[in-house]
Structure 1
Amino acid sequence: MQQNNGLDKNQLLSFAVFSMILIGFMFYFQNKQSKDQKVKEAAKTAQVAPTANSNTVKPALVTNLNDSLKSAAIQQVQLKNKELTLGISTLGGQISTVQLNEYKAYNPKTDTNDKNLLLFDKNNSAYGFQFKDKTGKTFSTKDLVFTPVQNGNSVTMQADVNGAIIQFIYTLSNKYAVDFHVKTQGLNQLVTDGKADFIWDYSVREMEKGRSQEQTHTEFAYTFDNYKSYDYDARTEMDEPEETLNWIGIKQQFFTAVLEPQSGFKNSKGNQENIEEGEFLKKFNFNGQVDLAGNELNQSFKWYFMPLDMPLLKEYNKNFDEILPLGWSFIGSLNRWFFIPIYNWLSDFGIAAGWVIFLMTIATKIILSPIMYKQHKLSAMMRVIRPEIDEVNARLKGADAMKKQQETMAIYRKAGVNQMAGCLPALVQIPIFYALFRFFPNMIDLRGKGFWFAKDLTAYDDLIKLPFKIPFFGWDHLSVLAIACTVVILIYTVMTSGNIQQPQQEGMPNMKVMMYIFPITFLFFLNTSASGLSWYYFVSNAINILIILVIKYWILDEKKIHAQIQANKLKEPKKEGNFQKRMREMMEKAQEQQKVQQQHTNKKK
């Protein structure tokens, strides 16, 4: 993994820009009246065809960045609606500030979401088109100073580079979309290769509590194949040389910035690197090609700066809902068609988010109750025949493990106990666990919702703050909900581990010890995870404990089960299932091979 070392090119450029801004503002305020007059005269003589509802200006003649900074101060034009506030800079003609007005970012000083939520700000995003001229040299729109003309919620940015005119026209409509039209005139006198590179450098700002969790959910997202196919990349270099991307996005845990080109991006590639500390999480770079028509760039684009809210994402009908990382295949379907609908339905009653999760847990348990009942009934049956298993182990003490295993399986078969039936509930709960692992940290409706001492159910609770960081893990807190969840899982494990048969072969790990270690690992996993996930599994395992007690003392009568097992022994044994038959044959074959090997060893002696 690459590290962020020192100042990069963009940081040096930003330093130079801000230094020149201070000088520029001094001249700007001294000559404000004369400058305003020049802009008005330029607007009357503009040579580029005007767009609807916008004025045009005569472009300032710009040959390089240093000359432009001497002659003009960098300005920022503001566009605003209910959802977004945009700042568009004359340097590069690019969107330099993006604020989502209806959301707030996490503030570690107050431990709450009360900061302005700024996706773009302080030069953390820079984008533009890069062209190669006839001499082989490249020039970029990021280095040009544009002249702005604003008309309501639309602004036209215009620049001149060696006689070629470039216009960027931004229009902020309703909600979260920004139309971005690019027009050029005379560019064909400078370039001949028929394409331009769109380059976007973006350092993603930390917005949420829980840096590691948010960093994990910060990644490239893009679609292709006419919006039908979707892909993402969170760790490696992105490379799509053969696909035409319909849109490219860089997403965070709950928000995303997406650019959609009219004709798509070709030969797309990108890279990313984690930023270990500070206000930024990751640094991204994207490079995609756009085609020129007659060596002119006249194409429409659209920016989207959105919260990852499922109904909103679906409104656009552009596969944006895939950006929400709900899991692949069956996992994602489980979230889309069960957990999200049931959460929304319960929330409509005005119930607090923590209690909604509580009710979701109960609903899940009710659905799984037939499977859970079979599991606990099997546990009770195995407790009843445990003395007979112990008798076999005592009688065959010193015999080979294979012989003991065969005798044990024979007891299970005569008693009508199918050991494999206990695996089904565990297998069913694996996709549920992973679905919820995706659900809780990415459900924007839970963002900022507190419950008891957890201030945000999508982040960890840190009621226990440590005066130091735990080595290797880097924790400076302990999550109470994670500890509580670990304790109930440990209790549940103790209650159910009595049925676990100890390994008969020497050198095999003690399964009971392994079962006790497993709950402890949950603490390491949950301590920095969403507290909603810890709360769900605390409730889930507490209900499991209650179910075991109810079944043991009120539903299942172990005496009756013992009588049933004894009756089963007297009956003709049930026909072996395919799996049991294969297991028996494998054991017999292994036993025969063991005997042959032993005989061969004895002959050598």
Structure 2
Amino acid sequence: MDKKTLIGLVLIAATLIGFSLFNRQGADENASADNDKDSTKQEIVADSNATELPNSLIAQFDDNGDPIIDSVKGQLFLDTLTGEDTFLLIQPVLNDTTKQTIVENIDTNSVPEETYTLENEVLILEVTNRGGYIKNVFLKDYLSYEDYAAGNKNPLHLYDEISTYGLIYPEGANTVRTDQLAFAVVDQDDKSITLESNRNGKVVGFTYKMKPNKYDLDFDIYFEGFTDKEVASAQFTSDMYLLNNEKYYPNEKRQATLYWQYKDDDYDYIQNTESEDMEEVVDWVSFRSTFFTAIVSAKNGFGKKDSKVTLYAIEDQEQTTYVKQYGADLNLGTTKADNVVELNWYFGPADYDILVEYDNGTEDIVELGTGLFRWINKGAIRPLFMWLLDTGMGVGLAILILTIIVKLVLSPVNYKMYKSSAMMKVLKPEIEKITKKYPKKEDAMKKQQETMALYRETGVSPLAGCVPMLIQMPILFAIFRLFPSAIELRQTSFLWAEDLSTYDSPVTFGFSIPLYGDHMSIFTLLMAITTLLYTHYNSSNMQQPTQEGMPNMKFIMYFFPIMMIFFFNSYAAGLSYYYFISTLMTVLIMFAIKRFMIDDEKILAKIEENRANPKKSKGKSRFQQRLEDAQKLQQERAKNKKK
């Protein structure tokens, strides 16, 4: 490190330390000023009957002695202010960024909570009169992993009362939230319910209508007594916490995604902790875990103005109850008072076949990959897999037969690849002779030119084996996306795997090994072993690096299956099982090709014939010509440097 660099680092460090001390001094002064405030103000907070006080709550008074609540969001009981237990909603004053005032006396907690159950063949919903929203959702045909492992038959709990949704609308200079209003039932039967909240002559009504044997229900919102401006400014807001229902929480959290689709456009999504403002009218928004989702859609779309979606991380790192916190603030797009807004809720599985029936693009939330991989899954692999399942066979057997069919279809490609490999193997002694002929580093260019000439004379292309491999790779990646998201694998057992949608763990350690985990996946081990066998089978054809600095391909190929043991140990057992069967079949097919279809002596005779008759051998390919041109140019530059 030179003198100037050292001086620069010292100056930067001094600046940062000074800035830190300055900020700390300012914070200490602010804290001291807060401690000097009127003690009566602090007593109001201490005497309140708050069930949950925000950490930033500071009670203040204005010049007239009226109470002011500064820097607070949420709800609070303040019996010292009103003389009775009144539920108070604290909302910001939009024209004053330094203060927030008590703007609503909302009597929800003075009304006993009542829940109303709606039920059809697949759903159980519980609607609360406090906010008028659905506070609990149960799916009859599915189980949580915990209940599945314990043999219980409780319906899967999609989300609970911590999740809320409703409307936000203006009232004068204030803002009202319907999830804090008391609702009353005005109409109800076993499949539908209508609730209303009447505040100062302004009625907000929610109507829920279930459908036979469907996971979706109509959700209509109507307004009475509102001005056009108030209705046009109304927003749908939701704060959803989907419950963790799978075996492996890190995977559930990683796959939790918030999707939306713009009207007459493609879908978009966020998967990390972030917010996204809506750029166009939105058809629907989906809050998805690995295999289940809650989707809210609007018949006429949600307006783009002030609309946004947000994903929040669960703050407690040890929290495994909820997957993620999903937020959405969506403009209802209404422009006329006394209008009915037609929404729809879907609570159910992220099942491609179920969602595609709605014909609104929601099937795109099922993870099938993107681009070419998604096209392969939608057009070939998934339909074939579903057809096998429709015959009544088990999932494990269906994966086996799917693997056999895919490998047989690709067998011509495998034959081409192995034939190229066999020809390279025959030429290996000749290539070694060339390597010995030019051992010096400065002769690397001559060695490369003579090697390419050998390929041209014998009619062998070193790239002939790469093209077939490139053809197979999209299928491998497509299946990598398909099986972890296939709900058909969920809670389906096969051999020692109790659930093919998650990792198999017949061996558990009772402690965690870094980068590996606390269990041993047998399917992953089998996959890695067969990959090692395949690598060893092909290693004799691999050439050592002919130039310094080039990687040893044999080492890389052996290292890859070892890394797979760590990478796939916590992946879906169905995926590891497929790769195990696929690699095993590749080894068997290559053995059969070598044993019955490839004759090394005939290949050598063909190569010698091409060498003896250069006119019969193939001419230079474009790639070979470009490579030779590049080599000549490099040689000329090297000569010019020596001059």
Report the counterpart of residue 416 of structure 1 in structure 2: 459
Gaps of 5+ in 2: 1-51, 56-72, 78-84, 86-102
SS, match of residue 440 in structure 2: coil
In the alignment, what sits opposite 1:69? 109
Of 224, 249, 253 in structure 2, the residue corresponding to residue 185 of structure 1 is: 224
Q: CA deviation at 1:596?
A: 2.1
Structure 1, gaps ≥5 residues long: 1-6, 17-23, 25-61, 601-605
Which of these residues, 231, 256, 259, is aligned with residue 296 of structure 2?
A: 259
Taking the aligned partners of 1:295 and 1:489, their CA distance within structure 2 comes to: 67
Q: Which residue of 1 aligns with 2:282?
A: 245
**Which residue number in structure 1 is paired with residue 236 of structure 2?**
198
C-alpha change, 1:152 and 1:543, in structure 2 (3 Å) is: closer
The 5 A counterparts of 1:438-457 are 438-457=481-500
**2:379 paired residue number:** 337
* 2:409 is the counterpart of 1:367: yes
Give, in whole Å, the separation in 1 of the partners of 2:459 and 2:255: 48
- Greater RCO, 1 or 2 (C-alpha within 8 Å, sep 6+): 1
Task: Give the one of 125, 139, 142 matched to 2:179.
Answer: 142
Residue 520 of structure 2 corresponds to 478
Alignment-mate amino acid for residue 201 of structure 2: G
The percent of aligned pairs where both chains have the same amino acid is 35
Q: Does 1:83 align with 2:122?
A: yes
Shift of 1:291: 3.2
SS at match of 1:420: coil
Alignment of 1:126-141 (within 5 A): 126-135=164-173, 137-141=174-178
Contact 1:88 1:95 in 2 (8 A): yes
What CA distance in whole angstroms lies between the structure 2 residues aligned with 1:68 and 1:124? 16
Give the whole-Å Cα distance in 2 for the aligned partners of 1:289 and 1:111.
44
CA gap 1:370/1:194 in 2 versus in 1, 3 angstroms:
same
Structure 2 equivalent of residue 358 of structure 1 = 400
Taking the aligned partners of 1:448 and 1:159, their CA distance within structure 2 comes to 43
Query: Larger deviation: 201-210 or 147-156?
Result: 147-156
Contact 1:106/1:112 (CA < 8 Å) preserved in 2?
A: no
2:338 corresponds to 1:301: no
Aligned to 1:578: 622
How far residue 336 of structure 1 moved from its aligned partner, in angstroms, is: 1.5
Cα separation, partners in 2 of 1:422 and 1:73, compared to 1, 3 Å: same
- Equivalent residue of 1:466, what SS? strand
Partner of residue 9, structure 2: none
Retained in 1: the 8 A contact 2:310–2:326? yes
**Alpha-carbon distance change, 86 to 454 in structure 1, aligned in 2, over 3 angstroms:** same
Is 1:435 aligned with 2:509? no
Q: 1:504 to 1:114 in 2, by over 3 A?
A: farther
| Alpha-carbon displacement from aligned partner over 1:282-337 (angstroms, at most 9, x marks no partner) | 11111111234345553111111122222221221111221212122221121112
- Give the TM-score normalised by the residue count of structure 2: 0.80
Partner amino acid, structure 2, of 1:595: K
Q: Pick which of 260-269 and 575-584 moved more.
A: 260-269
SS in 2 for 1:179: strand
Cα offset, 1:193, TM superposition: 7.8
Contact 2:449 2:628 (C-alpha < 8 Å) held by counterparts: yes
Question: Is contact 1:104–1:117 with CA below 8 Å preserved after alignment?
Answer: yes
- For residue 8 of structure 1, report the CA deviation from its aligned partner: 9.8
CA contact (8 A) 1:463 1:478 kept: yes
Inter-partner Cα distance in structure 1 for 2:483 and 2:313: 23
Name the SS for the 1:568 alignment partner: helix
Are 2:192 and 1:154 equivalent residues in the alignment? yes
Shift in Å at residue 548 of structure 1? 2.3
> SS at the partner of 1:187?
coil
2:442 maps to 1:395 = no
Q: How does 1:380-391 map to 2 (within 5 A)?
A: 380-391=422-433
Q: Is the 8 A contact 1:83 1:100 kept in 2?
A: yes
Return the alpha-carbon distance in structure 1 between the equivalents of residues 258 and 199 of structure 2.
Answer: 32
User: Could you report, residue by residue, the CA deviation over 1:514-543 in whole angstroms, capped at 9, with x for unpaired residues?
Assistant: 111111222222111111111111111111
- Where does 1:512-551 land on structure 2 (aligned, <5 Å)? 512-551=554-593
Q: Deviations over 1:468-523 (max 9, x none)?
A: 1223x372212111111011101111111222222222222222111111112222
> Counterparts in 2 of 1:156-175, with a 5 A limit?
156-174=194-212, 175=214
* CA contact 1:99–1:117 (8 Å) conserved in 2: yes
Counterpart amino acid of residue 628 in structure 2 = R
**What letter is aligned with 2:544?**
Q
CA contact (8 A) 1:63 1:161 kept: no
Query: Following TM superposition, by how much is the alpha carbon of 1:416 offset from its aligned partner in structure 2, in angstroms?
Result: 1.1
SS for the counterpart of 1:490 is helix
1:439–1:314 CA distance, 2 compared to 1 (3 A) = same
Deviation of 1:236 (Å): 5.1
How far apart, in 1, do the equivalents of 2:165 and 2:636 lie? 72
CA distance in 2, matches of 1:224, 1:183: 24
The one-letter code of the counterpart of 1:102 is D
1:41 equivalent in structure 2: none
Cα distance in 1, alignment partners of residues 121 and 547 from structure 2? 70
Tell whether the 8 Å contact from 2:119 to 2:190 is kept in structure 1 after alignment.
no
Deviates more, 1:172-181 or 1:367-376: 172-181
CA distance in 2, matches of 1:102, 1:147: 31
Contact 2:293 2:347 in 1 (8 A): yes
1:440 to partner: Cα distance:
0.5
Assess if the C-alpha contact under 8 Å between 1:124 and 1:204 holds in 2.
no
SS of aligned partner of 1:129: strand
1:280 aligns with 2:322: yes
5 Å-filtered alignment, 1:97-116, equals 97-107=136-146, 110=149, 114-116=153-155
Assess, with a 3 A threshold, how the Cα gap between structure 1 residues 365 and 112 changes in structure 2: closer, same or farther: farther
Which range is displaced more, 146-155 or 457-466? 146-155
Contact 1:101 1:117 survives alignment (8 Å): yes
Distance across 2 between alignment mates of 1:141 and 1:411: 80
Q: Name the SS of the counterpart of 1:468 in structure 2.
A: strand
What is the rounded CA distance, in whole Å, between the counterparts of 1:417 and 1:236 in structure 2? 53
How many angstroms apart in 2 are the aligned matches of 1:327 and 1:82?
32
**How big is the shift at 1:158?**
1.3
SS at match of 2:131: coil
2-structure distance, mates of 1:9, 1:270: 24
Residue 212 of structure 2 is aligned to residue 212 of structure 1: no
Specify the code of the residue in structure 1 equivalent to 2:105: N
AA matched with 1:81: N
TM-score (norm 1): 0.85
- Counting matched residue pairs gives 541
